[in-house]
Amino acid sequence: MTPTTRIDVSAGGDYPVLVGSGLLGHLPELIGPRAAKVLVVHPRALRTTGEAVREDLAAAGYEAVSAEIPDAEEAKHVQVAAFCWQILGRSDFTRSDAIVGVGGGAVTDLAGFVAATWLRGIRFVTIPTTVLGMVDAAIGGKTGINTAEGKNLVGAFHAPAGVLVDTDTLATLPDNELFTGLAEAVKCGFIADERILELIEGTAREALADHSSPVLREIVERSIRVKAEVVSEDFGESGRREILNYGHTLGHAIELTERYQWRHGAAVAAGMMFAAELSALTKNLPEVVVDRHRSVLEHLGLPVGYRGDKWPQLLDAMRRDKKARGSLMRFIVLEAIGRPTVLEGPDTSLLHTAYQEIGVEAPTRTLL
């Protein structure tokens, strides 16, 4: 068994991200000695895993109850949050009690939001079970739910007490979920750590899909270190943390347009391709780097384009994006690999020109 890696985060509080296998035994130390009750939030698809976590906590002496919520983005609705609040209220949860979120990024976003809003904030721990959750959503303290108007428009910054990244949970993850999750690792590669790109480029897709692969583990750890370093410097997203939104402005717009039927990583992949083309137009990003975006994403089977006929809807969605400042749209673009910067208020004609480079006649159906 490979040793457990500890990556410390200092953002909204100090907490560890533990990476390894067989990590459930660490859960009580992260919950802490003050909690008497723990709510385990998990999706329907992880009923067995969620129940195992609840039973372990009960055996450790906690009064553990569970909240089974819808899968994926269907979890991120105010009605689901209200369901969790109802359980907390009926179970008399106090400020010293805790929540554990078990699942992908949508689940940990929802669980964190419930924790942030119950009694103005209680302790919570995330156990991400997808690559997307491990390298991005479960770390950093951004929590939120979706509305009909857009993704993550309602939320709060609320740091977890700890994150357990147990790679054993990836054993049953479908390949398409794994590869779409790696889109966030690709993002980390382009904005901060080129070695991540080299590892992906140098490894066959079949090897990357092996949850016990040392290469996959290194990609996950390197991506976590990128996020940990960035959020530790800027917890409230008032400055540098914005670079983590590379590819996300268009990506979120695609998700909204597709009524969240596209996986987040697939939408972000197309969004990164758009951001690369926009970078070439506005920051003279070399064409070879734009081409590298395409080759890395295609190696993972991820989309590198989106429907050309959807531009008006996408533009409208981007104008309502939470990263906008007043009427000014904001995009993270690249001057070079590892050199992201903010582009504020670009002319819509520039945006349309960049989009034409990735527009296709029909939506790409690979790994959505």
CA–CA gap between residue 269 and residue 105 (Å, rounded): 16
- Domain membership of residue 136 (yes or no) is yes
- Domain membership of residue 217 (yes or no) is no
pLDDT of 235: 78
- Domain membership of residue 218 (yes or no) is no
Domain co-membership, 180 together with 313: yes
pLDDT of 154: 94
Domain co-membership, 59 together with 28: yes
> Domain of 250?
176-201+233-360
CA–CA gap between residue 52 and residue 35 (Å, rounded): 19
Report whether 194 belongs to an annotated binding site: no
For the annotated catalytic residues, the residue numbers are 120, 142, 184, 227, 237, 241, 245, 248, 252, 264
- Domain membership of residue 214 (yes or no) is no
Domain co-membership, 166 together with 181: no
Q: What residues contact 250, with CB distance under 8 A and at least 6 apart? A: 267, 270, 271, 274, 275, 306, 314, 318, 355
Domain co-membership, 156 together with 30: yes
Tens place of pLDDT for every residue, the chain, 368 residues?
678 999 999 988 899 999 999 898 899 999 999 999 999 999 999 999 999 999 999 999 999 999 999 988 899 999 999 999 999 999 999 999 999 999 998 999 999 999 999 999 999 999 999 999 999 888 888 899 998 888 888 999 999 999 999 999 998 899 999 999 999 999 999 999 999 999 999 999 999 999 899 999 999 999 999 999 999 987 777 778 899 999 999 999 999 999 989 999 999 999 999 999 999 999 999 999 999 999 999 999 999 999 999 999 999 999 987 666 666 899 999 999 999 999 999 999 999 999 999 998 765 555 56
- Domain membership of residue 344 (yes or no) is yes
Report whether 37 belongs to an annotated binding site: no
Q: What residues contact 245, with CB distance under 8 A and at least 6 apart? A: 323, 332
- Domain membership of residue 33 (yes or no) is yes
Domain co-membership, 237 together with 329: yes
Report whether 172 belongs to an annotated binding site: yes
Domain co-membership, 134 together with 256: no
Number of domains in the chain: 2
Domain co-membership, 101 together with 156: yes
- Domain membership of residue 209 (yes or no) is no
- Domain membership of residue 326 (yes or no) is yes
pTM over 0.75: yes
Report whether 106 belongs to an annotated binding site: yes
CATH code of the domain containing 306:
1.20.1090.10
